[in-house]
């Protein structure tokens, strides 16, 4: 029986928040999570040595591409702090291993060894994060050197020691964030890595809002932009929670009174419309940012190479229409690819058959697999187009409203909504275990 708090006239969400802080251990988890996030924001303001702050500020004001990248680092890249790369090298490493598990036999065996195998895979992901962080950090430093922000970057001569110092600082910052993120997952509330990304994105919001108001002269555009942003958030919540329930029945044999009886029970498999989450957007933006970044790096080389580089720098930047058309197409393609990979790893039909389960009206084994694949394929069309629209809607909103000072990313909104819903579910579960009313209904 659920014991609800006495009526107080307060809104349900506020009452549930008060209930959460009344429970000592839950209050400790919430405060621990907030404290770790405060430490992360402090680290995001610690710059690496040898940075020209004035040149760095001017560069981010004039370069839309770098401003777009800075949105995901919570302003750490704008300050070129030790946390400039955030936890994205770790996310890249996790995605790479997730894609390698089905095709590498040794990794397949590890994934089937239970908790011990998962721990070994996790260690491999951590080790692989280090070279990814070093490579990504060196690319960022070279790009900033080309822009005049840094003057002593290289892997030979007198530039070697400052370069190694900067790379080690940035890599150590990334690994520190991964560590504190795992501390949140273990001792706090929510997924730590996701919450770090979430807090980095939210930290940029006051600056963006301030820039929007300072732009002035377009209050109607700002109001319409805010309405479109709220509509995008509503769509994200709707599609994130949408799923189809595939009915499943289980047959079990039990002994009673010396005789065997067949017992059947019904359940369902929830297949989400957006099973791929935010991963296709990360893939697509990573691919689309590469031509513009390389083009900006080589645009001053001269000759035919400089002309080609200038073409890519202009047409593959977040301000160009071509960039967003290709982004939409890549998001749709990556959604299908990643969804098929994920459901292939889960082997739903095989797991059902091993647990004496079946879909009513469908034979176990291969027919069940084909039936589920058809459902997944049809649902993925909806999820793919949804993610594609979410990816390009901020660009469309800026074009319609003529608000350029506020940089809004569909990927960042998707991350924020997903992390917020996941954290609320965990708080809901903690409250329900203690027989309190939760956040959700």
User: Could you tell me if 140 and 266 lie in one domain?
Assistant: no
Residue 314: is it exposed, middle or buried by C-beta count within 10 angstroms (0-12/13-18/19+)?
A: middle
Q: 164 and 248: one domain?
A: no
Which runs of consecutive H residues, i.e. helices, occur in 53-159? 53-62, 64-70, 76-79, 88-100, 105-111, 114-146
Residue 47 pLDDT: 80
- 263 forms bridges with which residues in the sheet? 252
- Residue 153 sits in the same domain as residue 233: no
* pLDDT > 80? residue 408: no
3-state secondary structure of 272: strand
Whether 209 shows a pLDDT value over 70: the answer reads no
Question: Among 89, 247, 87, 295, which residue's Cα sits nearest to residue 176?
Answer: 87
Q: Tell me: the pLDDT tens digits for 181-204?
A: 899 888 888 888 888 888 877 777
Helix ranges restricted to H, 299-320: 303-315
176 and 248 belong to one structural domain: no
pLDDT category, 13, cuts 50, 70, 90? low
Examine residue 379 and state whether it is found in any structural domain, yes or no.
yes
Q: Evaluate whether residue 238 is within a structural domain.
A: yes
408 part of a folded domain: no
36 falls within a domain:
yes
Q: Which of 33-47, 134-148, 197-211 has the lowest mean pLDDT?
A: 197-211
* Average pLDDT score, the chain: 76
Question: pTM here?
Answer: 0.74
Domain of 118, in residue numbers: 1-214+413-441
Tell whether the model's pLDDT for residue 56 goes beyond 70: yes
Residues 268 and 119 in one domain: no
Rg (the chain; Cα; Å): 25
Whether residues 233 and 315 fall in one domain: yes
Is 126 domain-assigned?
yes
State yes or no: pLDDT of 253 exceeds 60.
no
Whether 130 shows a pLDDT value over 80: the answer reads yes
Number of domains in the chain: 2
Residue 161 maps to a domain: yes
- Confidence at residue 179, expressed as pLDDT on a 0 to 100 scale: 92
Does 279 lie in the same domain as 256? yes
CA dihedral defined by 23, 27, 30, 34, rounded to 10 degrees?
160
CATH of the domain at 123: 1.10.3370.10
Could you give the 3-state DSSP secondary structure of residue 189?
coil
Q: Which one has a higher pLDDT value, 6 or 84? A: 84
Residue 4: its pLDDT value, please? 41
Identify whether residues 281 and 317 lie together within a single domain.
Answer: yes
202 in a structural domain: yes
In sequence order, what are the beta bridge partners of 268? Answer: 247
Percent of the chain with pLDDT over 70: 73
CA-CA distance, 14 to 207, in Å (whole number)? 27
pLDDT of residue 3: 39
- Percent of the chain exceeding pLDDT 90 equals 4
Same domain, 299 and 361: yes
139 and 201 co-located in one domain: yes
pLDDT at residue 282 tops 50: yes
Same-domain check for residues 186 and 267: no
Is residue 249 domain-resident?
yes
Together in a domain, 291 and 424: no
What's residue 299's pLDDT?
60
């Amino acid at each position: 029986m659920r014991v609800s708090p006495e009526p107080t006239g307060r809104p349900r969400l506020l009452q549930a928040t008060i209930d959460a802080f009344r429970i000592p251990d839950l209050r400790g988890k919430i405060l621990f999570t907030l404290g770790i996030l405060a430490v992360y924001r402090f680290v995001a303001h610690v710059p690496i040595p040898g940075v020209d702050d004035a040149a760095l500020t001017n560069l981010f004001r004039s370069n839309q591409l770098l401003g777009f990248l800075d949105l995901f680092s919570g302003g750490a890249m704008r300050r070129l702090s030790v946390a400039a790369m955030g936890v994205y090298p770790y996310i890249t490493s996790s995605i790479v291993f997730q894609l390698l598990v089905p095709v590498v036999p040794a990794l397949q065996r590890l994934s089937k060894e239970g908790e011990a195998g998962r721990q070994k895979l996790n260690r491999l992901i951590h080790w692989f994060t280090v070279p990814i962080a070093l490579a990504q950090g060196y690319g960022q430093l070279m790009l900033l050197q080309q822009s005049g922000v840094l003057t002593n970057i290289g892997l030979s001569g007198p530039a070697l020691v400052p370069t190694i110092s900067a790379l080690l600082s940035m890599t150590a910052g990334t690994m520190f964030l991964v560590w504190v993120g795992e501390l949140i997952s273990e001792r706090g509330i929510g997924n730590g890595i996701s919450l770090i990304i979430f807090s980095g994105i939210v930290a940029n919001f006051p600056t963006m809002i301030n820039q929007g108001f300072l732009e002035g002269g377009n209050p109607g555009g700002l109001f319409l932009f805010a309405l479109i942003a709220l509509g995008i958030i509503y769509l994200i919540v709707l599609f994130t929670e949408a799923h189809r329930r595939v009915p499943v029945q289980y047959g079990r044999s039990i002994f009673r009174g010396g005789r065997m009886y067949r017992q059947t029970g019904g359940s369902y498999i929830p297949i989400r419309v957006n099973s791929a989450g935010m991963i296709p957007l990360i893939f697509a933006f990573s691919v689309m940012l590469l031509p513009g970044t390389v083009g900006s790096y080589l645009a001053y080389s001269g000759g035919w190479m400089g002309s080609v580089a200038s073409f890519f720098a202009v047409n593959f930047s977040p301000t160009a229409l071509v960039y967003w058309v290709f982004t939409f197409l890549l998001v749709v393609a990556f959604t299908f690819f990643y969804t098929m990979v994920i459901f292939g790893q889960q082997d739903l039909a095989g797991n059902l058959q091993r647990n004496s389960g079946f879909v009513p009206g469908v034979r176990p084994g291969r027919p069940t697999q084909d039936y589920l694949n058809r459902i997944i394929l049809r649902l993925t069309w909806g999820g793919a187009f949804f993610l594609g629209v979410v990816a390009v809607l901020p660009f469309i909103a800026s074009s319609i409203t003529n608000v350029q000072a506020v940089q809004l990313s569909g990927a960042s909104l998707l991350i924020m909504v997903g992390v917020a819903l996941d954290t609320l579910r965990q708080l809901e579960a903690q409250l329900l275990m203690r027989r309190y009313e939760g956040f959700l209904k």
